[in-house]
Amino acid sequence: MKLGIVSPCYNEHDVLEESAKRLGSVLVDLYQKGKISSDSFILYVNDGSKDDTWHIIEQLHNKHMFINGLNLAHNVGHQNAIMAGMMNAKDLCDGVITIDCDLQDDINCIEKMIDLFGEGNDIVYGVKISRKADSFMKKITAQMFYSIQSSMGVQAIHNHADFRFMSVRALNALSQFPERNIYLRGMIPLLGFKTAIVEDVISNRIAGKSKYSLSKMLRLASDGITSFSSKPMTLVLGAGILMLIVSLIMSIYVIVSLIMGHYVVGWSSLMLSIWFIGAVVTIGIGITGTYIGKIYMEVKQRPLYIVADKLIHKL
């Protein structure tokens, strides 16, 4: 089979050359074992980097026949960059593996993914079994996110990020999704093809610092929930009903107190009630606004990405 490895990059000056060396060794090893063809390749996707990431990709492309490059006109985010790489690679190969160029994911899993594809699986997920390389805060927030995501009814693979194999058949099916709010971890399980998993042991970055800030992780978590579940709006409705019941109970209590002559004008309780109701209403408006914002983005139908330059070896 002809394999394409798609690797998104954002300001990855420090890791690119080592990444290309290690992934290149994987391709050579798999070719020598007869598991992939000699024209398999790596496609680095430059997601509007501010450093010389694209220049390094150009140099690697000129030096190695197995390295291709895709330069996006501006930064579109991790999910859209992966989508751009997959959609540009799917017509050039039989299957695609997506992996971040910092190589925290276990590259030894790539061969297992190829083997599982040979057994009839169109999608193979890399599922994290160890987070020893992650910080304590990242471990806690990740587990909280997966739990919340599951409780909201989002169909996603637990402890799976974006390290996966997809056959061309699965990629062609994914290309039919017209939505603009991309959350691949929720979209791909909806395809329905036969899947398998491999155990992914996370290691430290080969160099540099993670470009995935807390704000970006929170934005991804928000997209993952609001793009695949309307449950937050249902919860707001439930909170409103609960507040109505509490208000009725309080009304009965006030009336009884008035009849019995045991009442005190309570400024504190009144203010707390106002703030509580105001908070719930504000949260409700915020959640509703998030969904309306997503509708707004979908209606405009703007492109997910714009390719400025493309470097593809013609074999």
pLDDT in tens, 173-204: 999 988 877 888 888 998 989 999 999 887 77
- Burial class for 290, CB neighbours closer than 10 Å (0-12, 13-18, 19+): middle
Beta-bridge partners for 199: 127
The two structure tokens encoding residue 24: 């290149």
Cα Rg of the chain (Å, integer): 25
Beta bridge partners of 312: none
Q: What mean pLDDT value characterizes the chain?
A: 82
Average pLDDT over residues 3-15: 94
Helix H, strand E, coil C: the string for 143-156 is: HHHHHHHHHCCCCC
User: In this predicted structure, which of 87-96, 110-119, 229-238 has the lowest mean pLDDT?
Assistant: 229-238
Confidence of residue 125 (pLDDT cuts 50, 70, 90): very high
Closest to 204 (Cα-Cα) out of 11, 18, 2: 18
Length of the chain: 315
Backbone phi and psi for residue 69, each to the nearest 5 degrees, phi listed first: -140, 150
Beta strands in 175-226 (DSSP E): 195-201
Residue 268 in this model has a pLDDT that exceeds 60: no
Q: Are 45 and 8 in contact (CB under 8 A)?
A: yes
DSSP assigned state of 119: T
Give 53-110 pLDDT, tens digit per residue.
999 999 999 999 999 999 999 999 899 999 999 999 999 999 999 999 988 899 999 9
The pLDDT-based confidence of 18 (bands split at 50, 70, 90) is very high
Mean pLDDT score, 155-183:
87
Tokens 């074992």 correspond to: 33
Give the torsion through C-alpha atoms of 13, 100, 133, 25, to 10 deg. Answer: -80
Collapsed DSSP state (helix, strand, coil) of residue 126: strand
Which residues make beta-bridge pairs with 13? none
DSSP 72-102: ESS---HHHHHHHHHHHHTTTSSEEEE--TT
